[in-house]
Amino acid sequence: MPRDHATVNYGMVADNDYRSLPSPAQLLYINMWVAAGISYCGVRDWRPSRISGWTEDTTTADVLAAGDCLRARHFIVTDDDTEEALVRSWVRFDGVMRKPRLAISFVSAYYETASSTLRKVIVHEAKKLQRNEPELPCWSDPRVISVLEQESCSAKDLPPVSDPFEPGFAPGLEQTLHRVSTGVSTARTPSPTPTPLTPAPSGSPEVADEQDAPTPSAPAKKSGKKKSATPLGDDWRPTEDHLTRCIDRGLDPALELEKFRAHAEANDRRQVSWNAAFTQWLLTARPPQGGTVHPIRQGDLLPDADGNLVLPPLPAKTPWG
């Protein structure tokens, strides 16, 4: 059941962890908190391409970068398969459990959550609140007790996510980080109008402005032009490192690639480095439950003409080339 209003606790914005967030992540977090559609247990739709429409100058890539930052720092938990996101501290800061009727709405929202991962984290957060505020009357309600008896999991125990705003880490996010550091949107800033050149006097050789002419000992200036983000092309293929990661984590490489492509197309994603984006995808991927992983082992890699190990041929109809 979605909320028709939101309660913003001053303690949330005074929290040191919140204040340490980069501004794009803070904006996304606040918008996820107050935008219509959040449930009584803090779950809302996770569709980055639609979320980007909340702010006029925000792109889908911006949402994904800020979302990765919030996930890495445990502010939110997302499930790409069910397209749901949990604002982790919602139960603690919103005060929903302090009102018996809303506590029952919390129970209903819990059972309406499709993601099993999000449900586990919701139970964990409710149990934390119970330890901190044991006097609340809702804890004696059988319906609330039934939720607390469900399986729980801390967000910090989930597979780690790389934070794109950490120093030294920026795979595929050069444009986003440039906007963060300069306050200028490189994707939307029009090119400056070129300054017309003053004609050289008749009979004189045309020379550049003295300030622009590099000295013989000075290195040439870098253009500073950023590589453009592009959609996922049909000819893109994972690397040997990606396959190794799948083997190490018990993942089905063909299945993960198929899910990765479907997610990129459904959300109209753009990336500067699709190799880095797929690496991030595998960091949060979970082994299939009861499924069959394609029987590829590290020793099955075959050398090519140059001696490099490459992927062996896979069965027909697999997207892994």
Residue where a domain stops, chosen among 126, 157, 188: 157
Q: Which of 104, 71, 88, 137 is nearest to 1 (CA)?
A: 104
Are 20 and 152 part of one and the same domain? yes
257 domain-assigned: yes
Are 235 and 118 part of one and the same domain? no
Total domains in the chain come to 2
179 domain-assigned: no
Are 141 and 271 part of one and the same domain? no
283 domain-assigned: yes
- Which pLDDT score is estimated for 164? 85
* Mean local confidence (pLDDT), 114-139: 94
Q: What is the largest CA-CA distance in the chain?
A: 96
* φ, ψ of residue 86 in degrees (nearest 5): -110, 125
d(CA 67, CA 310): 33
The residue ranking higher by pLDDT, 192 or 242, is: 242
How would residue 252 be classed by pLDDT, with cut points 50, 70 and 90?
confident
15 domain-assigned: yes
Place of tokens 């901190």: 132
Domain span at residue 54 reads 10-157
Give me Rg for the CA atoms of the chain.
Answer: 25
- Is the pLDDT assigned to residue 202 strictly greater than 60? no
* Mean local confidence (pLDDT), 259-267: 85
Least confident among 125-129, 181-185, 254-258? 181-185
d(CA 212, CA 227): 25
206 domain-assigned: no
d(CA 194, CA 189): 15
d(CA 288, CA 132): 36
* Mean local confidence (pLDDT), 248-274: 83
Are 146 and 274 part of one and the same domain? no
- Which pLDDT score is estimated for 201? 47
283: left (phi over 0), alpha (psi -120 to 50) or beta: alpha
* pLDDT tens, residue by residue, 54-68: 888 888 888 999 999
Work out the number of other CB atoms within 10 angstroms of the CB of residue 281. Answer: 18
Q: State the pTM of this model.
A: 0.54
315 domain-assigned: yes
Averaged pLDDT score across all residues of the chain: 75
Are 58 and 150 part of one and the same domain? yes
Work out the number of other CB atoms within 10 angstroms of the CB of residue 238. Answer: 22
The residue ranking higher by pLDDT, 266 or 195, is: 266
CA 220 to chain centre: 37
- Which pLDDT score is estimated for 37? 87
- Which pLDDT score is estimated for 207? 40
Q: What are the DSSP calls for 223-273, one per residue?
A: --PPPPPBPPPTT----HHHHHHHHHHT--HHHHHHHHHHHHHHTT--BS-
How would residue 6 be classed by pLDDT, with cut points 50, 70 and 90?
low
Residue where a domain stops, chosen among 157, 184, 213: 157
The residue ranking higher by pLDDT, 104 or 242, is: 104
Strands 43-45 and 76-79: what pairing? unpaired
| Side-chain half-sphere CA neighbours of 97 within 13 A | 33
* pLDDT tens, residue by residue, 143-163: 999 999 999 999 999 998 888
Are 241 and 116 part of one and the same domain? no
* φ, ψ of residue 60 in degrees (nearest 5): -60, -40
Are 18 and 133 part of one and the same domain? yes
Residue where a domain stops, chosen among 130, 157, 184: 157
* Mean local confidence (pLDDT), 4-19: 73
* φ, ψ of residue 209 in degrees (nearest 5): -55, 140
Instruction: Find out whether 164 and 170 touch, Cβ atoms under 8 Å.
Output: yes
Are 149 and 236 part of one and the same domain? no
261 domain-assigned: yes
- Is the pLDDT assigned to residue 197 strictly greater than 80? no
- Is the pLDDT assigned to residue 184 strictly greater than 70? no
Which residues contact residue 158 at a Cβ distance below 8 angstroms, ignoring those fewer than 6 apart? 77, 117, 121, 284
CA 297 to chain centre: 30
- Is the pLDDT assigned to residue 90 strictly greater than 90? no
Are 250 and 128 part of one and the same domain? no
Are 139 and 33 part of one and the same domain? yes
| CA distances for 166 relative to 22, 69, 169, 225, angstroms | 10, 9, 6, 22
